[in-house]
Structure 1
C-alpha cells in the first residue's frame, strides 16, 4: 500500500477512535496535518465505504468469521454433509486399491 492509502486509513481509524463521524473533509484535514495529503476523491470513497459501520466492532471481531462467512455453512449444511459422504467413499476406494496391491505380491516389504 502506498503511504497515502495508509494515511487515509489511519485518519479514519483516528476519527473512529475519537468517536467523530468519518467524513471525507475530516480525512483530508487529518492527512494534510500529518504531511501526507490525500486526494479528496479517495477520502470520499473511504468515508462512503465506512459510512454506518462500527469500526471498533469490526476491529475487535477480526478473527470471529462473522457475516457472510458464518452464514455460508448454515445455508449450505446439506452440501457440507454431502461432501463428507463423498470423502468417505473416496477413502473406501483408496483402501480397496491398497488391499488389491498387496494381494498381487507388491507389498512394501516384499
Structure 2
C-alpha cells in the first residue's frame, strides 16, 4: 500500500467483511469517520466498487490458490487439439533454429571467433 488512505480503506473493508456486512462506500466512510481518519472522498467509493460482488473472505482464504486452475471437465477437448498441433509446432521451431544457425555461418564469423 502506498498511502494511509488506501490502508485505512482496506482495514475498513476487512472489518465489514469480518462482520458479514456488505462493503459499501457509505459503510467504509462511517468506519473511517469513527476512527478519525481523513481520506480523499473517492477512496471509499473506489474500494466499494472494486469489492462489489466479491466475497472478501473467499478472496483472503484463496490467496495461495492458483489463478488459472479451472475445471478438468472442459479441458479434455482443447488438450487433445493442443496435443495434435504440438508436433507441427516442434517441426517449425526446429526448422527456424536450423535457419538461424545457417545464417550465422553465411556471414563467415561467429560470436566467439
TM-score > 0.5, shorter chain as reference: yes
Structure 1 position 54, deviation (Å): 0.8
Checking the alignment, whether the CA contact within 8 Å between 1:4 and 1:38 is kept in structure 2 is yes
Checking the alignment, whether the CA contact within 8 Å between 2:5 and 2:43 is kept in structure 1 is no
Return the alpha-carbon distance in structure 1 between the equivalents of residues 81 and 3 of structure 2: 42
Return the alpha-carbon distance in structure 2 between the equivalents of residues 78 and 6 of structure 1: 47
Q: Which runs of 4+ in 1 moved over 3 A?
A: 74-83
Q: Which residue of 2 aligns with 1:17?
A: 18
Q: Which residue of 1 aligns with 2:35?
A: 34
TM-score, structure 1 as length reference: 0.61
For structure 1, the 5+ residue unaligned runs are 87-110
Checking the alignment, whether the CA contact within 8 Å between 2:16 and 2:22 is kept in structure 1 is yes
Q: Does 1:70 align with 2:60?
A: no
Structure-2 change in CA distance of 1:19 and 1:77 (3 Å): same
Question: What is the correspondence of 1:52-91 to structure 2 with a 5 Å cutoff?
Answer: 52-66=53-67, 69-71=68-70, 77=79
Structure 1 position 22, deviation (Å): 0.7
Checking the alignment, whether the CA contact within 8 Å between 1:24 and 1:40 is kept in structure 2 is no
Q: Deviations over 1:48-80 (max 9, x none)?
A: 1101111101111100114xx224xx5975798
TM-score, structure 2 as length reference: 0.60
For structure 2, the 5+ residue unaligned runs are 90-113
Checking the alignment, whether the CA contact within 8 Å between 1:25 and 1:43 is kept in structure 2 is yes
